[in-house]
Structure 1
Amino acid sequence: MQRAATRRVAILGATGAVGGGALAELLRSPAIAGVTSLGRRSLADAPASPKLTQHVVDLEDAAGYAPLLAGHDAAICTLGVGQPTKVPREALWKIDVDYVMAFATACRDQGVGSFALLGAVGADADSSVDYLRMKGELEAQVIALGFFRTSLFRPSMLLTPHNRYGVGQAILLKVWPKLDWLLAGRLRRFRGITVADLGRAMARDAERDDPGVHVYHWDEFSALARATS
C-alpha cells in the first residue's frame, strides 16, 4: 500500500517557465502533500489543487515571509532574470543573488532541510565571464548555508514552448535541438532541455532526502526527469 504523502515543498519563482513546470509536477506527485508558492505576484493560471497555497510577498522583506516557510521539508528556487544581458548588473545581482540568498537563508533558518537552485552551465566563482562568475558565487554562498541536501541545476539552452524574447530566441529554439548530436562527451552538458523536463527534474529532486551537494548537468537532470515518484 502506498504511504501517505507528508513532504511539503516551498517554491520561489513559479511564475517563470521552469518554476511553473516544477510546480505543476509537484502538484501531480503522490509523494508531495503540499506546495507553498511565494512570489511578487500570484499565479493566475496555477493548476487547481488543494495542495497549493500561494502567497504574494515582498522579496525585499525576507523577515516578513520567513514564517511562511516553517514546516517545509524542501525548497526550490527558480527565480532569475529571463534576459540577463538586458538589465543593469546591479539589478541583475539584486534579483539573481540578493533575493535568492535572502530566500535560501530564510529557508535554512526555518528548518528547511533541502534546497534546490536553478543556475547555469559553466557556473564558476573563478570564471572570467561575469554572469557565470556571479552564478558560481551564488552557488558557493548557498552551499555555505549548510543545508542537509543542496541541489544545483546547471542547464544550458532552455527550450520553451513559445518564443518569449524575439527573433534571436526564435532562431535558437529552432536550431539548438538539431545540434544535440554534435554535443558529445564533455559537450553533452550544453544540450538543450525543455522547461517542462527541467521543472519535472527539480520536482523529482525535491522528493529525495539523501544528504550532500548534488550537481546536475544535462545527463543527470534528463535522467531525473524520467524518474517516477
Structure 2
Amino acid sequence: MADAIIQPTPDKIKVLPHEQYITKDHLTPNNAPPSPLDQFCTWFKEAVEGGQVKEAEAMSLSTASPLGIPSARIVLLKQVDPRGFVFFTNYTSRKSQEILANPHAALVFYWREVHRSVRVVGRVEKLTAEENDEYFQSRPIGSRLGAWASRQSQVISEEYLDSRLHKLQERFGIPDGQGDGVVPTPEFWGGWRVIPDEVEFWSGKPSRLHDRVRYLRTEETLDDTPIWKIERLSP
C-alpha cells in the first residue's frame, strides 16, 4: 500500500485515495474456525512470521467512564488464552480506573503490512495475584523498577521520575538498575483480561469490498466454553 497523498489547503488537509488493499485469502463464515480465539492466533502467527508486521502485539484499547466518555490508547498484548486477551498496567491509571467503574472495553489490532485488522468488544476481569506475579517477575529488572517508579497518568514534575527511581534502586539494593535483584510485584500493578463477546476479522480487498467476518457470543454461554454465531458483514 503506497503512502497517502496529502493535499494541503488554507484551512484543511485533504487525504487523497491511495493504492488498494489486497489479501490473497478469502475469509468467510464457511471456512472460519468455530472459535474467534483460534482464528486470531492463526492470523497473529502469520503476522509475525518473518517479521512481516513490526510489533504485531500493539493494540488500541478503548475504555469509557460511567458517563460514557471514551478514551483510547495503545497497549501491548501479552497473552491470549481460552478466556481472552491479556494486557498489564498500573491499577491506578486512567484506563484501570475506567475499567473498575465500567468493566467493558474494546480492542483493535491493525496490521497494515498484511492488510488485516481485528476488532474485539468484551467484558474485563482482573488477573489473579499469582498470574500477575508470574509475568512481573519475567520482566527485565529495569521494567520492574519502572513499574514501581511510575504513578501512571498522574501529573508529575520533571525531576520526579529520576528522583523516585533512584530511591527505589537504593530500597531494593540495585544501585545501578542492573543485575538480578529482587523487586517484588507491586500491589497497584497487574493484568486485565478482555473476555470477548464480539470479535470481527477484517481483510482488505480491492475497491473497498473487504471481507468482514464477525463472531458473536450466544446468550447464556459460559466464558470458558462459549458458543459463537459467525456472520459475514457488508463492507
Q: TM-score scaled to structure 1, two decimals?
A: 0.23
Q: By percentage of residues, which structure has more helix? A: 1
Q: TM-score scaled to structure 2, two decimals?
A: 0.22
Larger Rg: 2
Q: By percentage of residues, which structure has more strand? A: 2
